[in-house]
Amino acid sequence: MNTIIKDSILIVGPTAVGKSEFALEVAEKFDGEIVSADSMQIYRGLRIGTAKPTEDERARVPHHLVDFVDPSKAFSVAEYRACAEKSIQEIRSRGKLPIIAGGTGLYVHSLLYEMDFSGAGEDTALREKYESIAAAFGKEHLHALLREKDSEAAESVHPNNTKRVIRALERVENLREDDGFREFGRAWNRSELLNPVILYLLRDREELYRRIEARVDVFLTMGLEAEVRALLDSGLSRANIAMLGIGYKELTGFFEGAYDFEEAVRLIKRNSRRFAKRQMTWFGRYEDAHRINLSEFSSTSDVMGAICALIYENLEV
């Protein structure tokens, strides 16, 4: 028995691993409400490609921070943390258990650790270099550079905010290794907002990749292509962060004539696998996380048995 009793549950892991399924099971078992930690599920209109919870799932368990931001708007990590804190406090006020579930590393990190996105060290040469790039090639090109260096950091900064894009690029380039994670969570001072039981869900890599590719096929069958077309017709473009999510940006390229549909599908699957790999690297650094390899279990009930045992051991329920 741990000496420190936990006050919440945090379910993390790579895309397609099964976070949403088990978050629902845990919420129903322990009288909880779910707070999303997914940077794409926040946007209205992005339903299929974000694997957003269905109406039935939301009826089973209240979900927070889903479908509440206009896709034409930017939404920062700082804004996410403020909204999540409010939701968590409201859940607690009702005597319910906060269950945070999602795979956006920066969102999760902002709840666990005190993060400062406002400051950056002075580096005049770097700043002038990136200001020149922005002037010559445009702000979207500059934001694309940030996405290449640190895709998670790019999610938190709108392409139109050139000053913050440059600041983020300075942070990443000043590191000795290509690791935006360490810079954005450099202090590692634990936040007082949460003291969670952290459940890090994993699968054997080949199984996970099969699940990712199968899920992409399901999304396309459900109408992802039409969803992206409708978003573009509504006036959205690559300049909007909402359209930079996996599935949306690749199909946007298809609609723009950059490649054919088969290539778009290949890119979605490839980029989803790469994203999963980055997520595993990110969450693998949480030393206090309980790692649960779902590939080692024969049924959902067996997984839930292991999860419940961990929760009962660490949580005052």
- The string of DSSP letters for 72-135 reads TS---HHHHHHHHHHHHHHHHHTTPEEEEE---HHHHHHHHB----S-----HHHHHHHHHHHH
- In a domain? residue 2: no
* pLDDT for position 226: 98
- Name the CA radius of gyration of the chain, rounded: 20
Residue 200, strand partner residues: 12, 291
DSSP string, 201-217: EE--HHHHHHHHHHHHH
pLDDT tens-digit readout, 187-226 = 468 888 999 999 999 999 999 999 999 999 999 999 999 9
Residue 49, both tokens? 């490609």
Q: How many domains does the chain have?
A: 2
pLDDT tens-digit readout, 127-186 = 767 776 776 667 888 888 888 777 777 877 888 888 888 888 877 666 433 344 444 444
- In a domain? residue 189: no
Domain boundary among 183, 209, 230: 183
pLDDT tens-digit readout, 240-276 = 888 989 999 999 999 999 999 999 999 999 999 999 9
In the block, which residue shows the tokens 């708007």?
A: 73
Does the predicted TM-score (pTM) go above 0.95? Answer: no
- In a domain? residue 188: no
Range of the domain at 173: 124-183
| Rounded percentage of the chain residues whose pLDDT exceeds 90 | 67
Q: Are 291 and 200 in contact (CB under 8 A)?
A: yes
Q: Do 107 and 166 lie in a common domain?
A: no
In the block, which residue shows the tokens 């859940």?
A: 91
In the block, which residue shows the tokens 């690559």?
A: 238
Number of H helices and number of E strands within the chain?
A: 14, 6
Q: Are 27 and 214 in contact (CB under 8 A)?
A: no
pLDDT band at 126 (very low <50, low <70, confident <90, very high): confident
CA dihedral 292, 288, 315, 9 (to 10 degrees): -70
* pLDDT for position 164: 85
In angstroms, how far is CA 7 from the centroid of its own chain?
22
- In a domain? residue 1: no
* pLDDT for position 173: 67
Q: Do 96 and 204 lie in a common domain?
A: yes
Angle at alpha carbon of residue 164, lines to 159 and 170, rounded to 5°: 115
* pLDDT for position 223: 98
pLDDT band at 3 (very low <50, low <70, confident <90, very high): very low
Q: Do 159 and 179 lie in a common domain?
A: yes
Q: Would you say residue 279 has pLDDT above 60?
A: yes
- In a domain? residue 158: yes
Q: Do 94 and 53 lie in a common domain?
A: yes
CATH number at residue 229: 3.40.50.300
Q: Do 152 and 288 lie in a common domain?
A: no
